Every structure is written in C-alpha cells, then in structure tokens.
Amino acid sequence: MLSDILYVIIYRLVGYRKKVVRDNLLRSFPEKGEKELRRIERRFYRHLCDIFLEGVYNLFASEKAIRKRYRVTNPELVNRYYEEGRTVVLMSAHYNDWEFMITTLCRQFGHHGIGIGKALESKFFEPRVYRRRTRFGTQVVYADTVREEVAYYDRHHVPCALMMLSDQSPSHARCYWTMFLNQETPFIYGAEKFARQYGYPVLYYRVDKVRRGHYTVTFSLICDDPLSVPQYWIVERYARRLEEDICRQPEYWLWSHRRWKHKRPEETPLGLPSTSPQPNN
C-alpha cells in the first residue's frame, strides 16, 4: 500500500528523473513502440518504489525475515569454493533487489562476505546505514580501501565472497568499452582485475522477482581460472549475461541511473579499455 501511494507521488506528481528514464529506454530499445516503452516505464517506477521501501525494511528486518524474502536457489555452487579455501568474485547489477544480498552475504555462504560499494554522500546517514548493513557480519568497503582489504584476507588465507555490482557508470577508474543495449557503454574493470591478479573464480548471479518483496537468486559460473581466458573476456561475458537479463524483463533494471553520461574517447576502440571516460555532452 505504501509503495502504491509512493508510486503516485514519484511518477505521477513529481516525475522523478522521468526524462532520464525515457531517454535511456528509447536508446536501449529503438525497436519498441511508444506504447510498449511507456508500459515498461510505468512498471519500472512501481518496482523502484518497491525497492525504496525494501531498502528501508532491509535496515531493520531480522536475518530470518530477509532470507525468507531473498532465497538463493543454488548456494552449493558458491560453497564449493569455500570448501576448497578459495575466494570468489560475485558479479551482479542494480537489477531487482541488491540490498538484501549485501546485508545477508555472510549468512548465505560459508565465505566472509565483502560488499564493494560507494559511501553515501550524507555524513549523517552514512555511519548509521553502514552499521545496519553490516549487522550480520558482511563487511562493506569502498574504492579507497578495497585493495588493502582484499590483500589482507588473501595473506591470511581467509576465503571471501567479493560482491561487486559492476553496472554503474565509471568515473575516472579504468573502464572497458563494449556495445551494450544498442549503445557504446563503459564497464568498470575492477572485478576482472581482482580475479586475474589473485586467480579468483568469477560467478554471475541473476535475481528474479517472484512477487513483490520476494526474490530468488541463481548463480552461474563465468570463469573458474581467470588466467586461462583472454584479457577482458570476463567483463565482456558479464555484460552479455546482464544484457540478456535486462532484455528479458527490462522493468527491473535501474533506468533512473545516468548510465550513459560518458562517451568513448576517440583513441579507444570498442573491446579495449580506456583510463578516462569523456563527459557525454
């Protein structure tokens, strides 16, 4: 009920980032008609309101309540690497719900869970949200400390599950350019970099919405031995799996994000990395 009320306010009255959402959908699905794009748009905003309230609920709910709403269908695929004493990289995106995984990562698998993300801009909310996100043991680290944290656990032979949402728009970090949703798109290279540097297996997980507030998570292997595949193969495979999920049910991706605010530097061909994305004016 609260989400339905919020939908009227956010979509009908305020029109939160409606231009960004419409531009993103139009460029991503040029083959779809206006009627179909508006249908996706409305469903996205309903889902966005669900996600917002689920994010608040996630900060206070018990572990049992969250895991009832967020069920991993094949945890044995991840736990096999824990039994082998190996750290894994878990790649996903801002698709369906991602906050439930951050909070319960340590309880879903045998690994020590580390969520790699970005700090909130608010100095008031950041420490409070951090404490709630990490109350079940998951460690949340940010870009300026992630290398030291990963190296520490690697030295002490502690198998970790590194959760990386790799669909956000890069800033000045190294990025990889490929065609994604009919557009030249930069992808963060960090997940593949860690995997290749330490020999970590890489898994992709898809989140499916069963009904409002309830999800299932399914893992699939991208690469068991990162050094056995060509460079950039992992991030390219990730992009293809994510694209497939988005095209299957587009309303569940975060279309309000300014994903294509950078343009590819002229000296960087598709399929190769650049170190400085250019503003897309």
Q: What is the pLDDT of residues 200-254, one digit of tens each?
A: 999 999 999 999 999 999 999 999 999 999 999 999 999 999 999 999 999 999 9
Tokens 């995106």 sit on residue: 93
Per-residue buried b or exposed e for 134-169, using 16+ beta carbons within 10 Å of the residue's own CB: bebebbbbeeeebeebbeebbeeeebbbbbbbbbbb
**CB 213 within 8 Å of CB 227:** no
pLDDT of residue 271: 76
Torsion of CA 280, 166, 232, 111, to 10 degrees: 160
pLDDT of residue 103: 96
Q: Measured between alpha carbons, how far apart are the two ends of the chain, in Å?
A: 40
pLDDT of residue 119: 81
pLDDT tens per residue across all 281 residues of the chain: 999 999 999 999 999 999 999 999 999 999 999 999 999 999 999 999 999 999 999 999 999 999 999 999 999 999 999 999 999 999 999 999 999 999 999 999 999 999 998 888 888 889 999 999 999 999 999 878 888 998 999 999 999 999 999 998 887 667 899 999 999 999 988 899 999 999 999 999 999 999 999 999 999 999 999 999 999 999 999 999 999 999 999 999 999 999 999 888 888 888 766 665 666 75
**CB 192 within 8 Å of CB 232:** yes
Could you give the angle at which helices 34-58 and 18-28 cross, rounded to 10 degrees? 120
Tokens 């497939």 sit on residue: 244
pLDDT of residue 99: 96
pLDDT of residue 169: 86
pLDDT of residue 144: 80
**CB 203 within 8 Å of CB 87:** no
CA triplet 73, 76, 79: central angle to 5 degrees?
130
Distances (CA, A) of 134 to 58, 65, 97, 100, 166: 11, 16, 17, 11, 21
Alpha helices in the chain (DSSP H): 2-7, 18-28, 34-58, 63-69, 76-83, 99-108, 125-133, 146-155, 190-198, 233-248
pLDDT of residue 219: 98
pLDDT of residue 275: 63
What is the C-alpha separation between 130 and 141, in angstroms, rounded? 10
CA triplet 24, 102, 222: central angle to 5 degrees?
70
Tokens of 76: 């044995």
pLDDT of residue 90: 98
